[in-house]
Structure 1
Amino acid sequence: MAMSHLRSSRCLFYLQKIVMQQAIFASVKAFPSAELTSRPIMTTAPDPYCHPSTLINIPQIQLYDFEQHLNNNTACIIDVREPKELQETGRIPNSVNIPLGEVRDAFELSPAQFQQKYKYSKPSPDKTLVLTCRSGKRSQIACEVLHKQGYERVINYCEGWLGWEQKLKQEQQEQQKQ
C-alpha cells in the first residue's frame, strides 16, 4: 500500500514537472528570440514509472548510425539549433534547420508553406526523421513533440553537433598526419 502511494506521489511530482516543461515550451514559442539553454530541464533523477521519455521511448543513435542515415539518404536530418548557432559553429551537410521553438508549428504547415519557409519538402509522417542539436537534449524534446504530432519514425542523434564536430577534428588530424 505504501509503495503504491509512493509511486502515485512520484507520478504526481513528475506530472507537475511536465506541466512546467510545457510552460517553458510556451515561453520559447512566445519569445523566439530568447536564448535556449542546453541545461536539462529536470533536476532530479527520472522516475522509471513516470518519466516522459520512457513513456514515448524515442530511439537514440550515435555517430555510426547517424552517418549511415546521412550517407544513404534514408532519413530527413533536422537540426533544431538556432540559426545563430549554425552560423557560429557550422552545420551538418544535407540537414534542414528548424529551430526547436518552431518545430510544432512547422509541422502543422501545409507542404507548400513548409517548402517556402524551410526550402525543403515537408516530410510525410511515415518518413524517418533524425533530429539533432548541439548535445542531443533539445533534439530529444523535438522528437517527443513530433511523435505527439503523428510522426512515428523519429530518432534522436544523441551526440549532436558536439559528436559531429569531434568527428571532423579527428578527420583533420588524420589528414595532417598523411
Structure 2
Amino acid sequence: MASPANVITYEDLKALLEKSQNLLLVDVRGKEEVDKGRIPGSAHIPVDTVEAAFSLEPEEFKAKYGVAKPQLDAPELVFHCHMGGRGGRATEAARKLGFTNARNYVGGYKEWSEKEGK
C-alpha cells in the first residue's frame, strides 16, 4: 500500500488546480480513455511510457508533451489513471527516477468525473 505522502485526494487536487501555476497533472490512461474525457489541464503520458518520458531532456519533453518537464524536486507532480492502479505505478516510476514528491491521485478520473458531475 502506498504511503500517504505518495497520494493526493480529490479536494487537494481541486485546490491545486485552482491556485497552482506549477502543477503538472499527468493522465496515464490509454488514448481511448482520454478521448472520452479528461481532467482539465492534464498532460497525457501513457503509463508504459512514463519512465521514458521522464528520462527525456527538458527540451525533448516539452516538444513531445507540450508542457515543461518538472524539476526532480517539483512539489506538484501528480499522476492519475481511471481508478488508481496505473497512477500508482507511474508515481513509483517517477519516484525511482528521482521525482521525490510525485503523487498519485488515487480517486482517478472515475472519482473526478463523479464529483464533477460529468
Scaled by the length of structure 1, the TM-score of the pair is 0.61
Higher percent of residues as helix: 1
The higher-RCO structure (CA 8 Å, 6+ apart) is 2
Question: What is the aligned counterpart of 2:111 among 163, 166, 172?
Answer: 163
| Contact 1:78–1:131 (8 Å) recurs in 2 | yes
**Structure 1 residue aligned with 2:62:** 115
Residues in 2 aligned to 1:153 and 1:75: alpha-carbon distance in whole angstroms:
12
Residues in 2 aligned to 1:118 and 1:82: alpha-carbon distance in whole angstroms:
15
**Structure 1 residue aligned with 2:82:** 134
Which amino acid letter does the alignment assign opposite residue 154 of structure 1? A
| RMSD, matched Cα | 1.6
Aligned-residue identity in percent: 34
| Contact 1:58–1:156 (8 Å) recurs in 2 | no
Scaled by the length of structure 2, the TM-score of the pair is 0.90
- CA displacement, residues 96-119 of structure 1 (integer Å, 9 cap, x when unaligned): 111001100001111111111111
Asked if 1:63 corresponds to 2:10, the answer is yes
Residues in 2 aligned to 1:144 and 1:61: alpha-carbon distance in whole angstroms:
14
Residues in 2 aligned to 1:120 and 1:67: alpha-carbon distance in whole angstroms:
20
Give the 3-state SS of the residue equivalent to 1:131 in structure 2: strand
**Structure ID, larger Rg:** 1
- Count matched residues: 116
Residues in 1 aligned to 2:112 and 2:5: alpha-carbon distance in whole angstroms:
20
- CA displacement, residues 53-92 of structure 1 (integer Å, 9 cap, x when unaligned): 46xx6522221111011111252111111122111x2111
| Contact 1:96–1:120 (8 Å) recurs in 2 | yes
Deviation at 1:149, TM superposition (A): 0.3
**Structure 2 residue aligned with 1:80:** 28
Which amino acid letter does the alignment assign opposite residue 99 of structure 2? Y
